[in-house]
Amino acid sequence: MDEFETALAALLPRLRRFAHGLARDPADADDLTQQTAERALKSRGQWQEGTSLDAWAYRIMRNLWIDTARSRQRRGKVLAPEELGETVGVPGEAEGRAELHFLMRAMDRLPDEQREAVALVMIDGLAYAEAAQLLEIPMGTLTSRLVRGRQALAAMLGD
């Protein structure tokens, strides 16, 4: 091990304590400590010798934790569990019965991501899982886009 790796290894117990303070869960804290060590090793070229390795590593950990918290917060804003949407949108269900003329005009005003989700599920009748796979996005992302698209359409079409 070189000097950088030795100093980082010596810092791990302190990083782990900091991670416990941030995460409040032992498993999350261990994951955060590991992610921090990995990021520090990958980004070692960005650390400037003569500066505090401690502060640099703590900043990496804090930024990783902020990213994790934001991700969890976004994931928590999905209105329904992903599993409930796996079979929704099967052809023949009531979702695709809006008048096509008004619907298409309203859909033209949706952002691209929402229009794709709405078109695949509500018009083409794909199940959520199929649409998410086709768009190469997580099902939660598809669900979120679909909910926002439906809400926008309902507002444009007057519920």
Contact 64/24 with Cβ under 8 angstroms? no
Residue 5: Cβ within 10 Å count: 13
Nearest by Cα to 128 from 154, 111, 108, 147: 147
Q: Tokens for 64, please give them.
A: 């990783």
* Nearest partner of 60 among 5, 6, 8, 3, judged by Cα: 8
**Length of the chain, please?**
159
Q: Please state, in angstroms and rounded to a whole number, the distance separating the CA atoms of residues 22 and 43.
A: 22
pLDDT tens-digit map of 21-61: 888 788 999 999 999 999 999 999 999 888 889 889 998 98
User: Domain-by-domain residue ranges, the chain?
Assistant: 3-76, 82-157
Give pTM, 2 decimals: 0.49
* CATH number for the domain running over 3-76: 1.10.1740.10
CATH class (in words) of the domain with range 82-157: mainly alpha
